[in-house]
């Protein structure tokens, strides 16, 4: 096993253990806590390569988010949308990322919850992990994915990855 694969596996195991433990939903009507699984295509510009550089991250199209929980005292009422936007400094093995994950979720009985979650995160290989940057608004994300066809980082920069993962938000009050 290469050092990069071992590091990626170690980060993924620790992050999964952190996210796997279900947190109890807080019961007060104003409490806000949501757990989502998502799939989204993330774009990197100018691309992840062997060269250490600044990289812009975004989602050219919203991905899907399947969520459970409450927001503003109301149950989330079905599947919603997820996007990512931010900046990174990194290269093939790893990056540090400052980003915002945005959720647009339907609420039971009508209306939508628009939630922007600032994250400090990182990437080791193709695993993205992170935690919320605001102590009053706890959040975490863990995602893995595969680069677009023909992209391998060393020869051809990675300009896109389709990621699947989990984001947990809250409790916010």
Is residue 99 domain-resident?
Answer: yes
Per-residue tokens: 61:
């199209």
Is residue 127 domain-resident?
Answer: yes
Is residue 24 domain-resident?
Answer: no
Q: What does DSSP say about strands 139-147 and 94-106: parallel, antiparallel, or unpaired?
A: unpaired
pLDDT digits (tens, 9 = 90+) for 87-129: 999 999 999 999 999 999 999 989 999 999 888 888 877 788 8
Is residue 165 domain-resident?
Answer: yes
SS (HEC) of 134-155: CCCCCEEEEEEEEECCCCCCCC
Nearest to 80, CA basis, from 109, 114, 110, 57: 114
pTM for the predicted model, two decimal places: 0.78
Nearest to 131, CA basis, from 80, 96, 79, 107: 96
Total domains in the fold of the chain: 1
Nearest to 165, CA basis, from 131, 129, 117, 138: 129
Is residue 59 domain-resident?
Answer: yes
Is residue 104 domain-resident?
Answer: yes
Is residue 93 domain-resident?
Answer: yes
Token pair 């995602």 is found at 143
Domain extent, residue 96, equals 3-19+29-172
Give the pLDDT of residue 119.
87
Is residue 14 domain-resident?
Answer: yes
In angstroms, the first-to-last Cα distance of the chain is: 44
pLDDT digits (tens, 9 = 90+) for 30-88: 468 999 999 999 999 999 999 999 999 999 999 999 999 998 889 998 899 999 999 99
SS (HEC) of 72-127: CCEEECCCEEEEEEEEEEECCCEEEEEEEEEEEEEECCCCEEEEEEEEEEEEECCE
């Amino acid at each position: 096993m290469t050092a990069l694969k071992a590091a990626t596996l170690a980060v993924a195991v620790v992050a999964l253990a952190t996210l796997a433990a279900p947190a109890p939903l807080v019961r007060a009507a104003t409490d806000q806590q949501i757990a989502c699984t998502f799939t989204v295509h993330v774009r990197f510009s100018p691309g992840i390569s062997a060269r250490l550089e600044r990289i812009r991250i975004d989602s050219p199209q919203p991905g899907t988010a399947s969520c459970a929980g409450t927001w503003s005292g109301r149950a989330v009422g079905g599947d919603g949308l997820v996007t990512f936007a931010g900046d990174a400094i990194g290269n093939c093995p790893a990056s540090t990322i400052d980003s915002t994950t945005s959720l647009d979720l339907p609420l039971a009985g009508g209306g939508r919850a628009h939630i922007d979650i600032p994250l400090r995160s990182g990437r080791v290989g193709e695993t993205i992990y992170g935690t919320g940057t605001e102590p009053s608004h706890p959040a975490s994300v863990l995602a893995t994915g595969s680069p677009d066809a023909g992209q391998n980082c060393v020869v051809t920069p990675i300009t896109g990855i389709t990621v699947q993962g989990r984001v947990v938000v809250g409790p916010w009050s």
